[in-house]
Structures are given as C-alpha cells and as structure tokens.
A and B are shown apart, each in its own frame.
Chain A
C-alpha cells in the first residue's frame, strides 16, 4: 500500500507541477468585469429522471417504475468555491444522497474536491444521466461489475492538462463494506454491489485509491483509463478474514463521427483473500470479475434538435470469472446480452426510449431471457 501511495504522490505532484507552469496566468477578475451579468454566486437547480416500463417475455406481468428522480442543488459561493448535491429518489420511496461535495478551484485546471463523490470508473458511473446513454436501463456491465451509482466519501483532485488534451482525477475514498453487524455483504451474484456504503454511516477501516486519466486529443475520440485500488471495510478489525483486497482496472472509448457513434468499455476486477472471506461468512464471492460492452448507434436528424437513433449493444460480463479455493463457479453468473432499440430525442435533455434485451448465460441448454423496455429520460 505504501508503495502505491508514494508512486501516486509522485505522479500527482509532477502532474500538478506541469499544469501549473502552463496556466498560472489564468484568473477570473477581468472576466467578471467584462461579463457584467454573470452570476458570481448563487443557487443552481437541476435534475434528471428516468421512468421505465419493463416487461419480461412470458407470463410475468410488466413493471412501471419511476426508477430514478434526482434533484440537483448547487451553490456557488464565489468563483473558487462551490457545493454540489444530488438528492435521489429511487423507485419513488427510497431516498439517497448521490453526491454532496465541495469543490475548491485552485486555478483554472486544478480543483480540490471533498465530500460524497462519484468514483470515476468506466463511462456510466460518472456520466449517468439517462439522456447521455442509449437504452432504457444502464448497461449491465455498469450494474454488476461497476456498481453504479458508486459513490463514497473522500477527498481528491481533478483537472485538465490542455496542452496534452488530458483530464486527470485522483481521489482517496472510503471503500466497500464487506462485513457489518456480523453479516457478510459481498457475494457471487452481484460482486461488490451490496457493499456500497453510499456515505451513509459508513464504516472506514482502510483507504482506497481511485484514479482516472482521459485522453481526448484525437478528434471525435475519447479514451479513458481508470484504476481503483484498496481493501473493503469492516466494522470488526479483529476479524482479519472479514475484508478482501480490491483492484479494478477500466478501459473505455467513445467515438463520434458526424451521426455515427461508438462506445466500448472493459472492466477487470481482481479480489484477493476471497477464500478466507467466503469461509468466514459462507458466501460465494468470485476472485475475478470482468465485463465488456460495445455499442454502435446512428442518428437520423429530424426537424430542429429532434433525432431518432437506433442502437445496438453487445455485453458480456461475469461476476465469477475466477473463484478461489474449492468454490465452484456458478455459470449463471457468466452472461452475455444483446440489446437493440430506439432513442427518440425530442429536446436537448429529453428523450423517449424503447429497446429489447436478450440475455443468455453459460449454463448449457439454458433459455434466453427476453425483456422489452420503454421509458422516458430527462436531464435539465
């Protein structure tokens, strides 16, 4: 752990040093002077919403749900200091805080952030507003492998190096909870998902490090490399086996040329000490997880900002790509999926969506499960 800390510190300091020399000259004063009506402080209100209809094939009945309704409330104290919150209603009745952090702008491309923040891993966790992706639901790689919406309390920095077209982010976060009140939380079927503490009376026993580097220097293309390193948290540090080590690496790409779009993502997770952990709590957590998806979309322009976009996505993910010790893999966790559908954008920030999902698992002779989804997506 120490080695990682030192290495990252060195990278960080050199990064900030570099960005500094290039941008020391930036300042806000004269901007304010000229731009008379610019608000230098005040409240921002926004939000996003996703209302879905899901109907599995067969005799099961459909499901109508206000899946997410999120209210964004921000306050800008001055040009350097702002506070952002997102309060989420999930399935109407569950209330969560999705983000709540203060941002301190040291200079134009170097910010210090602290509070409840999103972990930068892959595409969707950070860019999770429903109008930014195709498909009624978020990709399942971003549900089972990256447990979106993944957020924890932490402190970090981010910024851009404009000469190199790079965005950098680095944070120290609280981690997943693996053991609480004598109960183990992590399991084979959904990996780390149940371990998210979401900043709610969260236990902290060891720090986790998160970083993401994005490169956007090639026109139309954006590439991302994310890393997350650390250990899960426990409320009883005397039980050594109650935590697991976590290393997660993500690669993502988004490309757009005129009306054609492509995006892809690969996430690899290595979990250590899962054999002892599974023995302790009687669970079936895998020692490796991975997930991949590729998506193509083409937009047809209609009048004004209206667009209709057919898309096709293939996903493959496995929450038990490897298991430790004598644990036998459950092939039902090894899934692949084909999703195709239409996105009808009616305004910047409002869309109607419909898609059809075909999910297979690796059990031989198992049937394809099919689902029709439709919904509305809003972001303002």
Chain B
C-alpha cells in the first residue's frame, strides 16, 4: 500500500504547484474565440434599482457586460452562478448583439458529483437559444444521468437569465 500512497502524493504535488491563471483570462479567451477577434472592450450596463427588482436575475455592473469592438456592439456576456447539490458553480454565457446565445461554459465547478454538466457537447444545447425561447429541463434541454440536480439548476438559471434579458431589451436598455 505504501508505494501507491506515495505515488498519489507525488502526483498531487506535481499538479498542485503549477501556476494557475485568473478566471478573467478565461473569460477573455472565450470571448476572443467566440467572436474570432483579438481585441475588444468591455462596457458595464447600468440598470436602475427599481427595474432590477422586476428582473428574475439581478443585473449588477459586474455580472453582465457589453462587448464592443471599435465602439461597435458585438454582444454581451453574463457571469452567473447556480447551486448544485451542496455547493455553487459558476458559469459564463456569451450573447451576440441580437441576444442569441453563442457560448455557455462552466467556469468553476466545486462539487465532486455533477461535474458532467461542463461537457461541451451538453452545453451546446443552449447555443442558438434567444429571448424568445423557453427552456424546460427534459424537453428543451436533455438531462444528464448522474448530474440531474446541477443540470436542472443551470437550465433554470438560464431561463431566468433569458427572461431578464428580454425585459431589458423591451425597456430598450440593451
């Protein structure tokens, strides 16, 4: 048994001491990949407090931003959270300027179980959805066995996000 345990300790140490970059870098690179661009600027969106109360998801100046290139609007991104069985996970949604989803990515997943929702193929189901779509788990979005709670949870958050964005769009804020 000794050798095996030692093997794990060495392996862990090797992996653990690699430098890790910031999550913002990941968001930047996802935006670049999604729109196939090298440079862009980020602009905050101001939502008044009383309107925010109407929204299923509260928009702050740090969770929802406009993506511009040479002062032309390319799209938007949302950085959100959803709750799994015992912990939160973070995800990123990128929209184009017509408010159609171009990309969904799990940024941080913390639990041991349910991490399957990070699968690119599974998340692809959200691509192409827009404010006109409803997202019902099991019908519009197929589930994943073994990750049901997290899959339901992100689907629910995504639906609330689309509803919020729809309201912002109607009020001509975006």
User: Could you list some 25 contacts between A and B, CB below 8 A?
Assistant: A24-B21, A25-B20, A25-B22, A27-B108, A30-B22, A105-B110, A107-B20, A108-B106, A110-B15, A112-B12, A127-B146, A155-B5, A158-B112, A159-B115, A162-B106, A172-B1, A207-B1, A207-B4, A214-B146, A216-B119, A216-B147, A217-B121, A220-B142, A254-B145, A258-B139
Partner of A222, one of B16, B25, B63, B145: B145
Q: How large is the interface on A (under 10, 10 to 19, 20 to 34, 35 or more residues)?
A: 35 or more
Contacts of A239 in B (CB 8 A): none
User: Is B23 a contact of A106 with CB atoms below 8 Å?
Assistant: no
Interface: B86 (CB within 8 A) = yes
Interface: A374 (CB within 8 A) = no
User: Is A155 a contact of B108 with CB atoms below 8 Å?
Assistant: no
Chain B 68-95: CB-based contact to A (< 8 A → 1; otherwise 0): 0000000000010100011110100000
Interface: B127 (CB within 8 A) = no
Contacts of A44 in B (CB 8 A): 86-87
Interface: A34 (CB within 8 A) = yes
Partner of B144, one of A31, A162, A216: A216
Interface: B56 (CB within 8 A) = no
B109 nearest CB neighbor, chain A only: A108
User: Is B118 a contact of A156 with CB atoms below 8 Å?
Assistant: no
The residue in B3, B29, B139, B142 that gathers the most chain A C-beta atoms within 10 A of its C-beta is B142
Q: Tell me the bound Cα distance from A167 to B88 in angstroms.
A: 20
Binds B, one of A5-13, A52-60, A141-149, A318-326: A5-13
Contacts of A127 in B (CB 8 A): 146
Q: Tell me the bound Cα distance from A216 to B7 in angstroms.
A: 29
From 174 to 206 in chain A, residues with beta carbon under 8 angstroms from any chain B beta carbon are 174, 204
Interface: B32 (CB within 8 A) = no
User: Is A106 a contact of B16 with CB atoms below 8 Å?
Assistant: yes
User: Is B4 a contact of A172 with CB atoms below 8 Å?
Assistant: yes
Interface: B122 (CB within 8 A) = yes
User: Is A79 a contact of B20 with CB atoms below 8 Å?
Assistant: no
Known: A30-B22, A258-B138. 15 other contacts (CB 8 A): A20-B18, A25-B22, A28-B108, A29-B22, A33-B62, A107-B15, A112-B12, A132-B148, A162-B118, A162-B119, A165-B116, A214-B146, A216-B144, A256-B138, A257-B142
Interface: B26 (CB within 8 A) = yes
What is the CB-to-nearest-CB distance from B144 to chain A, in angstroms, rounded to a whole number?
5
User: Is B15 a contact of A106 with CB atoms below 8 Å?
Assistant: yes
User: Is A108 a contact of B142 with CB atoms below 8 Å?
Assistant: no
Contacts of B15 in A (CB 8 A): 16, 20, 106-107, 110
What is the CB-to-nearest-CB distance from A113 to chain B, in angstroms, rounded to a whole number?
7
Partner of A27, one of B20, B86, B119, B148: B20
What is the CB-to-nearest-CB distance from A108 to chain B, in angstroms, rounded to a whole number?
6
Q: Tell me the bound Cα distance from A165 to B106 in angstroms.
A: 13
Partner of A35, one of B7, B90, B120, B146: B90
User: Is A34 a contact of B62 with CB atoms below 8 Å?
Assistant: yes
What is the CB-to-nearest-CB distance from B107 to chain A, in angstroms, rounded to a whole number?
6
Contacts of B118 in A (CB 8 A): 108-109, 160, 162
Q: Tell me the bound Cα distance from A165 to B120 in angstroms.
A: 7
Given A156-B8, A163-B120, A172-B1, A27-B23 contact (CB < 8 Å)? yes
B17 nearest CB neighbor, chain A only: A106
User: Is A222 a contact of B146 with CB atoms below 8 Å?
Assistant: yes
User: Is B25 a contact of A204 with CB atoms below 8 Å?
Assistant: no
Given A167-B115, A216-B119, A24-B23 contact (CB < 8 Å)? no
From 316 to 350 in chain A, residues with beta carbon under 8 angstroms from any chain B beta carbon are 348
User: Is A27 a contact of B145 with CB atoms below 8 Å?
Assistant: no
User: Is A216 a contact of B122 with CB atoms below 8 Å?
Assistant: yes
Q: Tell me the bound Cα distance from A74 to B87 in angstroms.
A: 11
What 9 A-B pairs are tightest by C-beta distance, nearest first?
A254-B145, A25-B26, A30-B23, A165-B119, A222-B145, A31-B90, A172-B4, A162-B118, A44-B86
Contacts of A108 in B (CB 8 A): 106-109, 118
Contacts of A220 in B (CB 8 A): 142-143
Q: Tell me the bound Cα distance from A142 to B55 in angstroms.
A: 47
User: Is B143 a contact of A31 with CB atoms below 8 Å?
Assistant: no
